[in-house]
Amino acid sequence: MSGVILLAGAPFSGCSLLAQMLGSHPQCAAAPELKLGLADTVDGLLTLADLSQVPLLDGLLRFIAEHHGGGQHRAGIRRAMDWLEAGREASTAALLAELTEAVAPRLLVIPDGEAALRPDELLLWQRLAPGLRVVQCLRHPLTHGAVWAPWLHGQLYVPPDYRDHRVSPEAALVEPQIPWLRCNRNLQRWVPEAQRTQFRMDDLETDPLTALRALCIALGLDDGDAALAAMQAIRGSPFAGWGPPEAPGGLEMDALAPVIDQALAIAAPPSLEAEAPWQAEQEGGSRTLDAAVVALARQYGYT
Task: Please report which confidence band the pLDDT of residue 270 belongs to, taking 50, 70 and 90 as the band edges.
Answer: very high
pLDDT at 149: 84
pLDDT tens digit sequence for 27-61? 999 999 999 999 999 999 999 999 988 889 999 99
Does residue 191 contact residue 122 with C-beta atoms inside 8 Å?
yes
pLDDT tens digit sequence for 63-73? 999 999 999 99
What's the average model confidence in pLDDT over 74-80? Answer: 96
CATH of domain 4-299: 3.40.50.300
Task: Please report which confidence band the pLDDT of residue 88 belongs to, taking 50, 70 and 90 as the band edges.
Answer: very high
pLDDT tens digit sequence for 108-148? 999 999 999 999 999 999 999 999 999 999 999 999 999 88
Q: Which residue has the higher pLDDT, 211 or 255?
A: 211
Q: Which residues contact 114 (CB under 8 A, 6 or more apart)?
A: 11, 121
pLDDT at 160 over 70: no
- Amino acid present at 124: L
- Amino acid present at 161: D
pLDDT at 174 over 80: no
Q: How far apart are CA 261 and CA 243, in angstroms?
A: 22
Q: Which residue has the higher pLDDT, 2 or 282?
A: 2
Q: Which residues pair with 29 in a beta bridge?
A: 108
pLDDT at 263: 73
pLDDT at 235 over 70: no
Q: Which residues pair with 137 in a beta bridge?
A: 199
pTM: 0.92
